[in-house]
Every structure is written in structure tokens, then in C-alpha cells.
Structure 1
Amino acid sequence: MAWRSHGVNNADMVRNLRANGIIKSDAVANAMMAVDRKNYCPYAPYHDSPQSIGYSATISAPHMHAHALERLKNQLTPGEKALDVGSGSGYLTACMAVMLGESGRVVGIEHIPELVNLATKNIKNDNSNLLTERIKLIVGDGRQGYPSEAPFNAIHVGAAAPNLPQTIVPLMKSTDRWCITL
């Protein structure tokens, strides 16, 4: 049922993702309800398809974000740390921060400086409290990860990769969970 979960607003989109079996848990539904996609996607934010965010980049379709959060939900628990490689508009990074709670932390790493600026602006417009201690956005090479904040309980890689980047494998806790398209 992916690609059929469009909505007229954020709540409608999340309801449709749940009705179509993409969102299965309250934790993911609550996070996606708390982070309104319109603050991260300038065109057709509730259409279940990838959308341009500029700089030759796209924000993934909502069903892909829901799927990633469902795969990582047992690791995105309050107080833990996560890494979002290819953080783009900041949408998934913000959803992860909501799931990690007040004491959790997400590092979003993006190689396009303008997208880091965009993500910072988007998160500030959506929920500026997330930018205090809960989200750190940096410009960098995601293949290197961010060792100074390791270990991470969850790592999401928002781009296809020919293989698992071995340089970020040591950054995981032993209770690790990856979400990467190989």
C-alpha cells in the first residue's frame, strides 16, 4: 500500500500510513504526528512520493520514513543516541529526536552545506527546542560517521550504498540496528 498513503494534512497522511499497514506502532505514529512534514518539504508535503528539496536532493516518500522508523523503533528509545547519515531537510532527524525523548540525541550529517542550513531552519520553524541539546547537524562525509559522539544505538543511512561503509561500523553499540539501502 506504499505510495497510496497521501493525505490532505499531516494527521491525514499519518492515518493513511497506519491504515495501509506501513506504520504499525504508536511510537512511530506519534513521532510522525509531532513533526509536520510541511515544515520540511516545500511542495506536496503530504503526497506519498519523494519531493525535491533543492540542491539536486530529495526528501524520501513518507512511507519510506515510516518504514525506517519502524525498523529502528526498538533502538530509538528515550535517552539513546542515533546517527542520521544524509539528513537532508531534517525531517527524519526530527522524528528520531522525538522518539529518543528529552534525554536522547541525534546527530544528522549531510555533505551539502546548504542542506544543513535548510535543515536547521526547518527544525527551528517546526520545534526549536529540538536544536538545543537533542539534535546536532553537521556538514561532513557520512561515510566517516561522527566518531566523537559514538557509540550510536541506531544508524540510518538515507542514501543507497554499494556496501556497508566499514568506517561507521565501529560507531555502533552492541545493541545496534541499521537502516541502509544496499
Structure 2
Amino acid sequence: MLHMQESRPDVLVHVGENLRRLRRSAGQSQAALAAAAGVSRRTIINLEAGESNISLSGLDKLADALGATFVDLVAPPTAPSNRIDATTWRGGHPESRAVLLGSAPARNEAQLWTWSLAPGDRYDGEPDPDGWHEMVYVTRGHLLIERDEGPVHVAEGDYAIYSSAQHYAYVNSAEITTTFVRNVIS
């Protein structure tokens, strides 16, 4: 659930603005969207006002009914899809939260990998087919991703999202083993 705090989380503002914009663009009334998504009209009204709680699956239903994506609903309108950084859920404890870091288009499958590179080691990758992407999140150390479109330095706790339809390499020039999570999206 998206929970209200003493001050509104930015994601509720974005959901409200995005929902209204997408609904109007689709030519749907609040009642028609509510019926198509299986939620109450009151929920739509409250969401558009930035004053409602809704589950993440409820947002998926709304996005589907609008012919949009979850990211279309929750991301700041000016955020690039590879760097969204939107808190989409908060729990009862201040340390409990879910942050949508980024998104990449997918057609076939997504793979989840864990990697480790010892100091001085590297992996040289071949270009994937057009439309493939990678999402890399460094859990320890520092990773240099050499790519045709330019290098990316990814520090511990940071991430990169990029097209893997290019030559790329993972390089650990640190003095400790670097670990990271890698998603391959095709």
C-alpha cells in the first residue's frame, strides 16, 4: 500500500497527476476507469487528489485499464526510465520502504544474476540483440562498466541501466571483491 505520512510522499503527487493525465488522454471518465480497473470511483477521485492509499497491485490494475505501465503511473513525469528513484511503498516503520530505481522495456524474459569480481578481474561481454537491456546494482565495492557509449562508474549502493546491444565489460579496479546484482532483460 502507498501510505500517507505527515507530508505527502512525492509518489502520491506523481500518481495523482499521472493518473489524471493518462485517464483524460484515454478519454475515460473516473467512473469508466474505476469499472475497467475493478476499483471504486472514490479511489480514483482520492488518488487524483493525492489523498489515497492503494496497493501496488491496484496500481497495476489501473495502469492496465489505461493501457499504460506501472512506471507510467508512479514515475515523476520528467524522470528518465533508467533513473526513476521513486518511493512506491512505505511500511509502518520508517526504515520499511520500496524504491523503484529504474525500468527497461522487455519482450521475452528477465534474468536475475549475482556476480562477484575479484580485484583486477574483468568480464568482456559481446553485444546482445537490439532491444536487450541490463540493470546492474552494486552491493559491495565499485564497478566500472566499459561500454561503446561511454564508461559508467557504479559505486556500492548505486546502479546503472543501459542497452546491452553494444560491446561492454565489467571491470573491478578496486582492492576488494566487487559484488553486484545483474538483471538481463530481453
Q: Which has the higher strand share?
A: 2
Q: Which has the higher helix share?
A: 1
- Would the TM-score normalized by the shorter structure come out above 0.5? no
TM-score (norm 2): 0.27
